Structure 1
């Protein structure tokens, strides 16, 4: 389903022809229902779809590896996945050592002048809290 901006003439039909709006809503709902398996974390359908879309849109298999379909890819806007291929965008897979007034310095000593710095991580950010006994708080809640 492609992005569509409704013109005034189309919008005028909705109050006057309720069946038009109902049909549109049903079509959109059926479309989204058909995508259910794509939103199941770790499913084969999800991985295959994401990889296919990333490769098709940006031609980069490296970015397709280990990606999960999430709102980050589905919501930000039309052509969002293609943004890494723009001539003024550079993806850097390095640890940042220092933020400078001009940009940043990576761990290998290279300065990166920039206008915008977007940091993305793919590590597990969950924190296992320890109680006063050698038992994780998540486990103590079960006992």
Structure 2
């Protein structure tokens, strides 16, 4: 039997910490999630995450580091490959809610760890806060 690779959609998400608080969005499943979205054909992941964060929050960002990746399963199908990046905010614009989500919020690291959201997002948030605490470039 010939090998047939599994095809996944790719969703690129940004961990954005502004004034010490991570920016999160409430989706239609009443879960908090990181801003981001589907990778478009021919688009680089870093370009995608900067575009999606701006579309969903109004924040201009720059990618600093890749944080994590995993396959998420919501319903039937092969799942979605999630890739997360730590992003630095450019400027001092406040985040704003787009039409794509129900709510927008900013949370401290301990607050975020207690929210209803996939564990992969929590891992990524923790990794980005650790990176920021290490004094590495934000």
TM range (shorter): under 0.3
Q: Which TM-score applies when normalising by structure 2?
A: 0.26
Please state which structure has a larger fraction of its residues in strand.
2
Higher relative contact order (CA 8 A, sep 6+): 2
Highest CA radius of gyration, 1 or 2? 1
